[in-house]
Amino acid sequence: VLDGDRVDRLAVVTDAGVFLAEAGAVSARRSAVFDPVLHVADLSFCGVRVTDDARLAVDSERAHHVALAGMAVTMVGACQRILDLVLDHVRNRHQFGVPIGSFQAVQHKAADMHVAVQRARALAYFAALTIAADDPRRRLAAAMAKASAGECQSLVFRHGLQLFGAMGFTWENDLQFALKRAKAGELMLGGAAEHRARIAEEYRAADF
């Protein structure tokens, strides 16, 4: 849980609803994660009791959709940062007397990254709009947003490192921060494959 060991209270999503739990009653331990900038903790609720008064008037399913859309937007932002850094690099890095961005093979990869980011952004924004409007499509939209963001990070991660000649993963290069943030987002709240399966279930259950 992000910042799980340095909060006063925790909103816990359960099958029975969303409950507030006092942080002091929860066992928390800082955990090592892929992105060292993120502060993540493993929490244990063993023996924790909450009363019905601690129940929030929040739809637990909607709360999950909000989390998915929020994570998708975060990942899109990280992917956009990766793309911006890559474009700056290929414009300024010279080989054979010309910028490497002038080579068609490099341009194709940059174009693929741009398309992936725009697609993920559109789906993330659509998910946010369906949640705000309480649109019944929000379940499908949230899954599509998270799946697309995951696929986007996979592509820009791979192409970004290749176009940087792999040095983008070194501590001396700012690219590594965006790469790790995008990858960390993919590892949270289910990956692209899991959400594609949910999308397939939604379509199988739909009455067209």
Return phi, psi of residue 166, to 5°: 75, -10
- Are 71 and 156 contained in the same domain? yes
Q: Supply the pTM of this predicted model.
A: 0.85
203 burial via Cβ count (<10 Å: 0-12, 13-18, 19+): exposed
Q: Does residue 88 belong to any structural domain of this protein?
A: yes
What local confidence, expressed as pLDDT, does residue 42 receive? 87
What local confidence, expressed as pLDDT, does residue 21 receive? 86
- Are 80 and 24 contained in the same domain? no
Q: Does residue 3 belong to any structural domain of this protein?
A: no
Among 56, 76, 94, where does a domain finish? 56
Q: Does residue 4 belong to any structural domain of this protein?
A: no
Tally the C-alpha atoms within 13 A of residue 82's C-alpha that lie toward its C-beta: 36
List of the chain residues with pLDDT < 70: 207-208
What local confidence, expressed as pLDDT, does residue 208 receive? 58
Q: Does residue 185 belong to any structural domain of this protein?
A: yes
Domain interval for residue 50: 9-56
CA distance 140 to 65: 9
- Are 21 and 95 contained in the same domain? no
- Are 102 and 120 contained in the same domain? yes
Question: What pLDDT digit, counting tens, does each position of 113-142 carry?
Answer: 999 999 999 999 999 999 999 999 999 999
